[in-house]
Amino acid sequence: IPLLRRALAMSKRPLLLFASPWTAPGWMKSNGDVRGKGTLKGKAGDKYHKTWANYFIKFLDEYAKHNVTFWAVTAQNEPLAGLFTPPQAPTIAFTAAQQRDFIAQDLGPALARSPHRTQLLMLDDQRIHLPHWAKVVLGNATAARYVAGLAVHWYLDAIVPPSCSLEATHKLFPDHFLLYTEACTGFFMFR
């Protein structure tokens, strides 16, 4: 919080912050641990999903007490990486259908009821998953109503041309923006 406040104070223009979760508490996950492969227990609409959605609101509440507000949150950082992650990495795995249902039944309504004007971003994973992921989530009118845009990572960009992923998705869903939210160089050891 002190670093965020310093950055906000130093900026010549307003900074738009977004937050992206890595994992839920272990007691909410199918593997019982914040680390490793696991999904949220149960299914959308149940006590685990509602409680996890409320964690987002509590996060926003607590930061707001320190005058730090978030322009957006993502539903999950790299939801498909949760299927392939090293055993020590904190993560939750979601399929597109699971993310759609979580957004439609739990996270979207929780954000809408909250006092926060925080927008919701979906996917937050490789663009290789587009446009399929967008079709599944935004093809549902209830979920689409809560989603402002799609968060995309760039690590596998060389595999899928932008015309097949970003352009195709934009043509299907022009009212939802596309935003690169994570990128770095040097993550492939062989380069």
What residues does 119 pair with on adjacent strands? 72
Could you count the other beta carbons within 10 Å of the beta carbon of residue 14? 8
- Give the residue-averaged pLDDT of 3-19: 95
Cβ(84)–Cβ(125) below 8 Å: no
Whole-number Å distance between alpha carbons of 1 and 130: 34
Q: How confident is the model at residue 159 (pLDDT cuts 50, 70, 90)?
A: confident
Coil, strand, or helix at residue 28?
helix
Q: What is the CATH number of the domain that holds 154?
A: 3.20.20.80
Residues with a known catalytic role: 78, 182
- Candidates 100, 3, 1, 19; CA nearest to 55 is 19
Whole-number Å distance between alpha carbons of 90 and 33: 8
What's the pTM value of the predicted model, to 2 decimals?
A: 0.94
Q: pLDDT per residue over 52-109, tens digit each?
A: 999 999 999 999 999 999 999 999 999 998 777 778 889 999 999 999 999 999 999 9
Q: What's the confidence (pLDDT) of residue 47?
A: 98
Residue 143 has pLDDT above 90, yes or no: yes
Q: How confident is the model at residue 190 (pLDDT cuts 50, 70, 90)?
A: low
Q: How confident is the model at residue 139 (pLDDT cuts 50, 70, 90)?
A: very high
Assigned token pair, 126 = 């490789």
Coil, strand, or helix at residue 54?
helix
Q: pLDDT averaged over the chain?
A: 94
Q: What's the confidence (pLDDT) of residue 78?
A: 94
Q: Name the residue range of residue 155's domain.
A: 1-190
Q: What's the confidence (pLDDT) of residue 161?
A: 87
In percent, how much of the chain has pLDDT > 90? 84
Instruction: Enter the DSSP assignment of 115.
Output: S
Region of 129 (left: φ > 0; alpha: ψ -120 to 50; beta: rest) is alpha
Cβ(161)–Cβ(114) below 8 Å: no
Q: What is the number of domains present in the chain? A: 1
What residues does 179 pair with on adjacent strands? 151
- Candidates 77, 95, 97, 120; CA nearest to 39 is 95
Q: What's the confidence (pLDDT) of residue 185?
A: 73
Q: What's the confidence (pLDDT) of residue 191?
A: 55
Residue 121 has pLDDT above 60, yes or no: yes
Q: What's the confidence (pLDDT) of residue 98?
A: 98
Residue 18 has pLDDT above 70, yes or no: yes
- Candidates 113, 112, 61, 104; CA nearest to 122 is 104
Q: What's the confidence (pLDDT) of residue 138?
A: 98
Q: What's the confidence (pLDDT) of residue 113?
A: 98
